[in-house]
């Protein structure tokens, strides 16, 4: 087949309208974090300024993305968890004239709504799929493999472009040199068409939009559809952009990724035009017809989803009504002066442990606080140049933490770190997964056998390094002064409500998980600590608060810490429910008894969800600890599955309630927050983080193909820590694996939007929502539900403009 080289008489440029639409589409993609810092993310975070129903319809129309549970999900819930009264309230709230029979019939009907097709999809519809590879599959594979190579080692990749660092330019040169595409696709002439593509992403996009005749009003939707086609890698690019924005650096990678995906569209368009005029004429007709109907397409999906949204809202009302009944149960009288206080991360797994610990003695008081304990720090591992954040991904660290070790200890730790890191890096690279086993031969087989018969805890190259008991904190390469340390400690104590009436023992309890052979292990650790355990944060805070010079400085700020008060750093292992204390010579006998009993209570409560048979105490403890060391265990714990609510109130208002490990509990006393500055911090940080966690689990259930990572048994790590492939290719997988949300028979996470309850004046809540656009958008666009929980027990919902009393 003859091909004609395409020459442009003049350079095509993007119009201002096109640039704006393209940039908006690029900004729609939310980030995904690398595996060693993996945290939960709301995949629709960048769309929060639109109503969730509108976003769901747009995603379904453009890319068949499901932002709602399937109809089949609701069928078994009807008349079990969802009652007629719940459905009735949801119908009234929707404003749609519909009855129960129509809603029931909707669950049994089939959805055959049309959706958007990219050029590659239209060409696949007439392709011989039995004997030839689909264009969509080849495009995904080709771009994905290049992205894995580029982001793992962009310096090597830039050799394709003679030293140019451009993402698009590197892809273009690599693709132009790849003669295998023609062979794989069995289509002559493709290489020449790639040779004719422009050298810059801007010129490519402009040329493609011209040739495809995409008018300005359709540019944004088309660009969004193309990015959703490569959503995994687009999410990684969004992470790179997120980090650059934290550092106030420009980043145009998303536009370059869009150019790469659009380049394939342009090549296929031109290829079909040259190959067959008649088939191209049909393609052109379908393409133009689809563009003209795009608005109607989104509207049809919105209409098709209306009744499903009623069912979704009914399931949320069912949960909320049960919780409201609990919250309106009057609490008992306030507890006596505490003998022990324990501040926990607000992670839902802590709710079970807190209940179990409080059950040991009425003099035990627990508190909930953001897991990084207010320390905005990054950690430099001893003996290495590795620096990692220990705070939420929303924030930028401004304090550097370094353990104080003698030179001999530093050299020892450096050798250990390098040895562990080399082994883990070799074994985690996607191409090395099987080659490592082959190269190790019988040695690796022996290791597998040993780990099966005599399992040992997983070793982490950084977390398992010895760090000593003293720490150096610096900012801009200068050590923090004593006054800065005092101010930092004072702010944290006030925020936790621990600035007065301190007990003899004050535990600072972070949390972390224990798993083996799990690329997403960081996702089970503390998201508030940047996907790490909370060990470093609590050890550093305890170190600061036990220092006599800092305590003296705190007295000047009105915070008097009794000499008898001891701050103890501890870590809650959420897989085994053990609590380990750090940096003390000997744990008090009474304290140790309480912690061990609380751990037993937790394990007994979790045993049912873990599918463990009825075992006695010793058998259960052994079984759960064995799971944590089992390299073949795909469900060592359920993480934050089934999270559903965030409660901001004094602990005594919920201490008598069993919230079933579904609630994030943040202590807050409005009477001690005269200017509501602390409430503002809670609503703009922890509330946003809990929204991210909640909607990641929600999205992973609704559409595990697009927003989850599939079967974790098939995972192969990409680029050391970038992410995973399911198998040896395809798009980068993001979100939770099926094993994290499903037990093989039933869903272990109920996909509900987060319900937030705040014990604070309504006017203060309204003011904060009005001043912070992101918070206001989450509320008014129903990405979460916000309730006022009055001291009289009354509950009312804020919809972004008014308060609606809940019956």
Question: Would you say 723 and 32 are in contact if contact means Cβ atoms under 8 Å apart?
Answer: yes
- For residue 9, the model assigns a pLDDT of 41
Residue 2 has pLDDT above 90, yes or no: no
Q: Check pLDDT > 50 for residue 223.
A: yes
Residue 550: what pLDDT? 98
Do 14 and 213 touch, CB atoms closer than 8 A?
no
Give me the pLDDT at residue 735, please: 96
From the number of C-beta atoms within 10 Å of its C-beta (0-12, 13-18, 19+), residue 186 rates as exposed
Place of tokens 């995603």: 59
Task: Give yes or no for a contact between 256 and 166, defined as CB atoms under 8 angstroms apart.
Answer: yes
For the chain, what percentages of helix, strand and coil (3-state, to nearest 5) are there? Answer: 50, 10, 40
Phi and psi (nearest 5°) for 302?
-60, -40
Rounded CA-CA distance 56/66 in Å is 7
What local confidence, expressed as pLDDT, does residue 450 receive?
56
Tell me what the mean pLDDT of segment 225-236 comes to.
98
Q: Can you give the pLDDT at residue 426?
A: 41
Q: Which of 396, 347, 341 is nearest to 365 (CA)?
A: 341
Does 386 or 71 have the greater pLDDT score?
71
Model pLDDT, residue 338: 93
**Per-residue pLDDT band at 377 (split at 50, 70, 90):** very high
Determine the pLDDT at residue 159.
54
DSSP state of 177: T
Q: Which long-range contacts (CB under 8 A, 24 or more apart) does 741-749 make?
A: 741/641, 741/697, 741/700, 741/701, 741/704, 741/708, 743/611, 743/635, 747/73, 747/701, 748/609, 748/638, 748/641, 748/642, 749/641, 749/642, 749/643, 749/697, 749/698, 749/700, 749/701
Neighbours of 216 (CB within 10 A): 13
pLDDT at site 132:
87
Q: Is 345 annotated as a binding residue?
A: yes
pLDDT the model gives residue 168 = 97
| DSSP character at residue 23 | H
Place 318 in a pLDDT band, splitting at 50, 70 and 90.
very high
For residue 540, pLDDT over 90 is answered with yes
Confidence (pLDDT) at 158: 52
Give the span between the Cα atoms of 446 and 783, in whole angstroms.
Answer: 51
- Is the torsion defined by CA of 185, 189, 194, 195 positive or negative? positive
CB atoms within 10 A of CB 187: 18
What band does 212 get if pLDDT is binned at 50, 70 and 90? very high
Q: What's the pLDDT tens digit per position in 546-600?
A: 999 999 999 999 999 999 999 999 999 999 999 999 999 888 999 999 999 999 9
Q: What is the pLDDT of residue 449?
A: 54
**pLDDT (tens digit per residue) in 421-475:** 554 444 444 344 444 444 555 555 555 555 555 566 666 667 777 788 899 999 9
Cα–Cα distance measured from residue 45 to residue 783, given in angstroms and rounded to the nearest whole number: 9
Whether 157 has a binding-site annotation, put simply, is: no
Flag whether pLDDT at 408 surpasses 80. Answer: no
Q: What is the pLDDT of residues 11-69, one digit of tens each?
A: 789 999 999 999 999 999 999 999 999 999 999 999 999 999 999 999 999 999 999 99
| pLDDT surpassing 60 at residue 161 | no
Of 85-89, 109-113, 417-421, 794-798, minimum mean pLDDT range: 417-421
Residues 277, 340: Cα–Cα separation, whole Å: 81
Look at residue 619 and tell me whether its pLDDT is greater than 80: yes
Would you say 469 and 546 are in contact if contact means Cβ atoms under 8 Å apart?
no
The SS3 of residue 478 is: strand
- For residues 545 and 150, what is the distance between their CA atoms, to the nearest angstrom? 46
Residue 212 to residue 284: CA distance in whole angstroms = 9
What is the rounded CA–CA span in Å between residue 356 and residue 601?
6
Find the angle CA(545)-CA(549)-CA(553) to the nearest 5 degrees: 85
DSSP letter string, 508-538: EEEEE---SS-TTGGGGSBGGGTSB-SHHHH
511 assigned to a ligand binding site: yes
What does pTM read for this prediction? Answer: 0.93
With CA atoms as reference, report the closest residue to 513 among 531, 538, 533: 533
Which tens digits make up the pLDDT trace of 656-687?
Answer: 999 999 999 999 999 999 999 999 999 999 99
The domain limits of the chain are 16-64+115-275, 338-638, 640-807
Average pLDDT over residues 198-206: 96
Helix axes 535-546, 548-555, angle to 10 degrees: 70
pLDDT of residue 384: 76
Alpha-carbon distances, residue 517 vs 38, 302, 432, 652, 713 (angstroms): 15, 42, 15, 40, 10
More confident residue, 121 or 158: 121
- Does 702 belong to an annotated binding site? no
**Collapsing DSSP states into helix, strand and coil, what is residue 455?**
coil
- Mean pLDDT score of the chain: 91
pLDDT at 564: 95
Higher local confidence (pLDDT), 155 or 169 = 169
Give Cα 592 distance to the centre of its chain.
35
Consecutive H or E run containing 579: strand 579-582
Residues 736-793: pLDDT tens digits? 999 999 999 999 999 999 999 999 999 999 999 999 999 999 999 999 999 999 999 9
Render pLDDT for 477-486 as a digit per residue (tens, 0 to 9): 999 999 999 9
- CA–CA distance, 439 with 94 (Å, rounded to integer): 62
Say which residues have a Cβ less than 8 Å from residue 165's Cβ, sequence separation at least 6. Answer: 154, 158
Residue 16 has what pLDDT?
A: 96
Q: Any idea how long the chain is?
A: 807
Among candidate residues 764, 782, 757, 796, the one with its CA nearest the CA of residue 680: 764
Whether the pLDDT of residue 6 is over 50: the answer is no
259 pLDDT higher than 80 = yes
């Amino acid at each position: 087949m003859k091909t004609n080289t395409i020459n442009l008489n003049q350079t095509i440029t993007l119009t201002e309208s096109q640039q704006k639409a393209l940039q908006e589409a690029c900004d729609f993609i939310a980030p995904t974090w690398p595996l060693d810092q993996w945290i939960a993310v709301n995949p629709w975070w960048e769309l929060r300024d639109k109503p969730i129903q509108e976003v769901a319809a747009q995603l379904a129309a453009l890319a068949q993305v499901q932002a709602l549970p399937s109809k089949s999900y609701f069928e078994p819930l009807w008349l079990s968890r969802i009652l007629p009264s719940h459905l009735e309230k949801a119908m009234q709230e929707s404003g749609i004239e519909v009855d129960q029979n129509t809603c029931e019939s909707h669950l049994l009907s089939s959805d055959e709504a049309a959706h958007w097709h990219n050029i590659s999809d239209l060409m696949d519809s007439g392709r011989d799929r039995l004997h030839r590879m689909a264009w969509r599959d080849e495009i995904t594979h080709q771009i994905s493999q290049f992205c894995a190579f580029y982001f793992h080692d962009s310096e090597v990749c830039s050799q394709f472009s003679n030293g140019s660092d451009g993402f698009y330019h590197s892809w273009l040169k690599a693709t132009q040199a790849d003669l295998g595409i023609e062979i794989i696709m069995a289509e002559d002439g493709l290489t020449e068409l790639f040779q004719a593509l422009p050298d810059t992403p801007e010129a490519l996009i402009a040329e493609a939009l011209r040739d495809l005749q995409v008018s300005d009003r359709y540019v944004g939707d088309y660009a969004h559809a193309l990015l959703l086609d490569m959503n995994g890698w687009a999410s990684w690019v969004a992470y790179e952009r997120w980090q650059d924005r934290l550092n106030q650096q420009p980043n145009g990678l998303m536009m370059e990724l869009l150019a790469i995906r659009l380049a394939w569209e342009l090549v296929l368009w031109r290829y079909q035009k040259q190959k067959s005029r008649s088939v191209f004429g049909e393609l052109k007709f379908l393409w133009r017809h689809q563009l003209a109907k795009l608005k109607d397409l989104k509207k049809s999906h919105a209409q098709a989803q209306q009744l499903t949204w009623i069912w979704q809202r009914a399931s949320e009302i069912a949960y909320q009504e049960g919780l409201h009944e609990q919250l309106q149960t009057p609490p008992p009288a306030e507890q006596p002066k505490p003998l022990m206080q324990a501040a926990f991360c607000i992670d839902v797994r802590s709710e079970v442990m807190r209940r179990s610990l409080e059950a040991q003695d009425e003099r035990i008081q627990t508190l909930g606080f953001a897991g990084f304990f207010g320390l905005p720090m990054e950690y430099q591992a001893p003996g290495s140049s590795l620096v990692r954040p220990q705070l939420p991904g929303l924030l930028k660290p401004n304090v550097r933490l370094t353990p104080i070790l003698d030179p001999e200890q530093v050299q020892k730790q450096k050798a250990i770190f390098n040895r562990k890191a080399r082994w883990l890096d070799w074994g985690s690279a996607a191409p090395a997964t099987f080659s490592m086993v082959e190269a190790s031969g019988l040695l690796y087989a022996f290791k597998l056998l040993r780990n099966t018969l005599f399992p040992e805890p997983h070793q982490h190259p950084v977390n398992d390094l010895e760090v000593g008991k003293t720490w150096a904190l610096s900012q801009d390469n200068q050590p923090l002064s004593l006054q800065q340390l005092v101010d930092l400690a004072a702010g944290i104590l006030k925020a936790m409500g621990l600035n007065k009436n301190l007990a003899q023992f004050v535990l600072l309890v972070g949390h972390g998980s224990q798993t083996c052979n799990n690329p997403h292990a960081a996702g089970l650790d503390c998201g508030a600590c940047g996907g790490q355990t909370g060990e470093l944060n609590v050890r550093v805070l305890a170190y600061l608060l036990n220092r006599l010079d800092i305590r003296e400085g705190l007295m000047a700020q009105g915070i008097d810490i009794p000499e008898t008060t001891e701050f103890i750093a501890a870590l809650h292992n959420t897989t085994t429910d053990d609590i380990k204390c750090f940096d003390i010579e000997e744990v008090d006998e009474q304290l140790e008894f309480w912690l061990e009993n609380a751990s037993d209570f937790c394990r007994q409560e979790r045993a049912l969800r873990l599918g463990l048979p009825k075992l006695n105490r010793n058998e259960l403890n052994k079984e759960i600890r064995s799971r944590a060391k089992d390299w073949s265990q795909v469900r060592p714990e359920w993480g934050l599955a089934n999270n559903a609510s965030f409660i901001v109130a004094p602990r005594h208002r919920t201490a008598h309630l069993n919230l079933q490990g579904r609630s994030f509990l943040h202590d807050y006393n409005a009477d001690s927050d005269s200017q509501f500055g602390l409430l503002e911090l809670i609503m703009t940080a922890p509330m946003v983080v809990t929204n991210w966690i909640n909607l990641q689990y929600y999205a992973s259930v609704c559409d595990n193909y697009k927003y989850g990572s599939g079967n974790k048994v098939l995972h192969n790590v990409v680029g050391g820590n970038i992410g995973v492939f399911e198998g040896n290719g395809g798009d980068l997988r993001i979100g939770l694996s099926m094993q994290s949300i499903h037990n093989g028979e039933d869903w272990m996470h109920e996909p509900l939007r987060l319900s937030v309850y705040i014990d604070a004046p309504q006017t203060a809540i309204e003011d904060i929502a009005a001043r912070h656009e992101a918070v206001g958008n989450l509320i008014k666009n129903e990405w979460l539900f916000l309730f006022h929980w009055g001291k009289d027990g009354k509950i009312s919902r804020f919809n972004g403009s008014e308060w609606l009393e809940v019956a």
